Amino acid sequence: MKRIVSILLVCVLSVFCIGCKSESDSLFTGSEGGKNSLWVVVDLRQDSMESDLSSDVASFQDSVEDVVSEDIEEVIFECIPPKGAERDTAIDRIRTEIMSGGGPDVFIAQCDNQWEPLLFQMPEKAMALDLFLPLDEYIENAEHAEWDKFTQSVMEAGRDDEGQQLVPLSYLLPAAMYRESDVSHTPKQMTWEDMRNDEALQDAVVRLGAGFNSTGDWDFPIEYLLGELADYKAEELLFTEDELLNHVNTIIELSDYYEENAYAEKEYSTKTHLGLWFNWTGGGIITAHGPSGTYDANRTGGRLNGLTEQDPLTLVPFYSDDGGNTAVITAFAAVNRNTRRPEDAFKVIDLLMSTGRQTNSTMFAYHIYSKSNYAGMPMHEEVMSQKYEMRVDSAINFWFSLDDNNFRKVCAVRDQITVAQFSGALNAELENMMVNCSRAHVNGEDYTQIVHDAYTAMKQMMGE
């Protein structure tokens, strides 16, 4: 058997275009190249830490080669450029191929890039347009991943009446962190309004509702407050302009209060995302014998003076309008409904989602989990426990997972997820709106028109 494995690097992508493609000589043939080829498109973060996406993808390709059918003659992995004209050209070409009945067999894609165009601007809408293959029958016969151990409330975001079409790879889930001896709270199905009216939770309301993370950057929580954003089949937003404006007002008021009262200098977490790094310091792994013995402000989302891994924690979820927590999915995998090799296409995703890869592969550690100063939650519900070790940095190798008590606290927050959404064009519009509103507020300007324009733009997106 002859197999050709090609990594299409960023530096050569610009020389290819739709017009020069043919079935005989193109490296972008995918399923159009014949029944014995497999085309996987990878669109993941390429600026995370120091890991090189092309080499990480190459390692994954080697593994894919070992699991696909023997008659697969050509396996093609294409890495979409991270930005610029090359990215635009690649995305336009791939979309054209999909619309013409071909295109890649498998997509492994980020969906939380605020500043660059996405391959799928709104993944849920793409699902409603029948672009992806339902995977249920393949999941039932999976050979590599432990699908029954994935967080089902998050998986639900990728399902419709036909079944599971989008497979979430990682998601963000914010909470405020305290010592158990100082703050007591049991996560429950309460709303943002309930939270704001609970006197015991006012510190968490400020920390979660203010538009800052621990480094002083804007990190506005509007998408977590609104909960479910849209009905993509009905092409309707699920919140009104007045509701949006009220939340903008609240966030700006809490941001002002946060700054006036120097919350960033106080103990405890400003905003923690319960992902891969939230119990890791920049100087090393936190253990009883670790180099620092304290959580690092730049890695945990807030100042936690003197708080060590050994301290029992209280985690206060970020409750939404809908009640419970909102999980925002940052990356996903899917199979093209046009594929001629559905079994082999699913094998790529099944292998990607294997427990070993979720715990210590560089693709997950650097390009799927990674997001600024925090990282996403794994889909496998047990890999943050002491049962597993999680890869963080090649110089350190692995982090030590949460002790049983604190792992239960993370699970308690996760169990309150009522809404899971794929980050996309709506989320980017909301984030850009908040940045512009905050700037206008700082300059003493009214921002009502900014909110109106953003709401109008999002309504137009739903109908496009």
Mean per-residue pLDDT over the chain, rounded? 82
Q: What is the CATH number of domain 4-171+329-368?
A: 3.40.190.10
pLDDT top residue among 185 and 8: 185
Token output for 63: 């593994």
- The rounded distance, in Å, linking the Cα atoms of 350 and 60 is 12
User: Can you give the pLDDT at residue 99?
Assistant: 92
Structure tokens at 37: 């080829």
Cβ-count burial of 175 within 10 angstroms (0-12 exposed, 13-18 middle, 19+ buried)? Answer: buried
| Residue 215 pLDDT greater than 80, yes or no | no
Reported confidence tier of residue 186, pLDDT bands at 50, 70, 90: very high
pTM above 0.75, yes or no: yes
Q: At residue 139, what is the residue type?
A: I
- 4-171+329-368 and 172-325+422-463 in the same fold: yes
The least confident of 54-63, 237-246, 386-395 is 386-395
Q: Write the class of the CATH domain 172-325+422-463.
A: alpha beta
**CA dist list (Å): 436 to 113, 230, 248, 447, 462:** 18, 23, 11, 8, 22
> Is the C-alpha dihedral spanning 109, 115, 118, 120 positive or negative?
positive
Q: What pLDDT score does 188 carry?
A: 94
Q: What is the pLDDT of residues 57-99, one digit of tens each?
A: 888 999 999 999 999 988 899 999 988 999 999 999 999 999 9
Mean pLDDT calculated for residue range 174-200: 92
Residue ranges of alpha helices (H) inside 262-307 are 297-300
Of 53-67, 137-151, 386-400, highest mean pLDDT: 137-151
Residue 120 in 3-state DSSP? coil
Q: Are strands 325-335 and 417-422 parallel, antiparallel or unpaired?
A: parallel
How far the first Cα of the chain sits from its last, in Å, is: 46
Higher pLDDT, 17 or 64: 64
Distance CA 159, CA 242 (A): 30
* Structure token digits, residue 93: 């070409």
Cα–Cα dist 260/364, whole Å: 38
> How far apart (Å, rounded) are the C-alpha atoms in residues 389 and 403?
12
Average pLDDT of the segment spanning 318-338: 95
Tell me what pLDDT residue 391 has.
Answer: 59
The pLDDT, as a whole number, for residue 169 is: 96
Residue 19 has a CB neighbour count (10 Å cut-off) of: 6
Among 445, 463, 415, which residue's Cα sits nearest to residue 175?
A: 415
Domain ranges of the chain: 4-171+329-368, 172-325+422-463
